[in-house]
Structure formats: structure tokens, C-alpha cells
Amino acid sequence: MTTKRWKPSVTVAAVIEREGKFLLVEEQTSDGLKLNNPAGHLEPGEAPVDGCIREVREETAYGFVPRGLVGVYLSRFRHTTSGEDVTYVRFAFCGEAADHDPDLALDEGIVRALWMDIADIRACPERHRSPLLLRCIEDYLAGRRYPLETVYADPSLMDAPGPVGA
């Protein structure tokens, strides 16, 4: 009997607070304009913390200095347009925004990066791209922090082949 192997998508996300506000992205999705943590898919040969640094830069034009792991999360999402059923594993890191390059083009679909306070984030759950946006921030506010070394990337990872057709 052949069974289909379950392959969750691995994503990374950043929780970045400055002066009581959190760095988010506003992005165009198939469900309209949504808010999210700076986040994205882990690429082949990439350690989760490195992927998070890359995604923050690509989506916000800010550098990112990771300080800790907030948590590892699972969520399931059914795409409204394709019907595709996807499970996500999210590694959420917290840290500080670094240098900002206002001339850097943001990833396709990203309308802008913005800073929002927690009350405004809590007030608009219908605008959240993922239920994990608020959960990651709430865990951060609750003081959840784990050492970056909690997520170990074996050197063999760096020898990973790229995606098929790359």
C-alpha cells in the first residue's frame, strides 16, 4: 500500500519590537491586503535563523539581529483559490531591527513595512494573514525566549540540493 508522505512547509518569522511597536508587513494575498510578521519559507541549505535574517531584509528592508527563539508553531491553512491544504511549521525568532535601506525593493506582494502597537494588532484579527501573527507576539510579550542554539542546523544541511529544476 502506498501512502502519501506528509510534508509540512517550513517557515521562519521575526518578532521585532521597538518603542512598544512591532514591525509587520502589509502584503497583497489572494484574500486581499493582509498583515503578517516578516516571514517566509526556509530555502534549501539554509539554517532557520539565517532564513529569518534574509526574510526580514527582503520584506522590510531592515537588517535583523536575532536574540532568541520565541517558539516553534504548527498551523494548517486551506488556500481559498487552489483548495490546497498546507501545514506550516514556523520558527519564530525575536530580535532587533538594524540598519534600514529605504532604497531596497521589497519582495513581490509586500506593499509596505509598518510599525504597529499591540492594541492595534489585537483589534484587527480579520487582517492577519496567519493566526500565528498574534500568537508569536503574545508569546514574546509573555517573555518566552529560548537560546538561538535551541535550533541546531547540522553542517550537512549546507550540502542540500536546490529545488528540482533550479
pLDDT of residue 70: 98
| Residues across the chain | 166
Tally DSSP H helices, then E strands, for the chain.
Answer: 3, 7
pLDDT digits (tens, 9 = 90+) for 15-67: 999 999 999 999 999 889 999 999 999 999 999 999 999 999 999 999 999 99
Residue 166: per-residue pLDDT: 44
**Residue pLDDT, tens place only, 76-103:** 887 767 777 889 999 999 999 999 999 9
pLDDT tens digit string along 143-166?
Answer: 999 999 999 999 988 876 665 544
Question: Would you give the end-to-end CA distance of the chain in angstroms?
Answer: 32
pLDDT for 157 = 85
pLDDT score recorded for residue 30: 83
Residue 115, pLDDT > 50, answer yes
Torsion, Cα of 138, 141, 143, 146 (10° steps): 60
Is the pLDDT score of 136 beyond 70? yes
| Mean pLDDT of the region 4-14 | 91
Alpha-carbon 107 to chain mean position: 13
Task: Classify 106 as helix, strand or coil.
Answer: coil
**What domains does the chain contain, in order, with CATH numbers?**
9-147 (3.90.79.10)
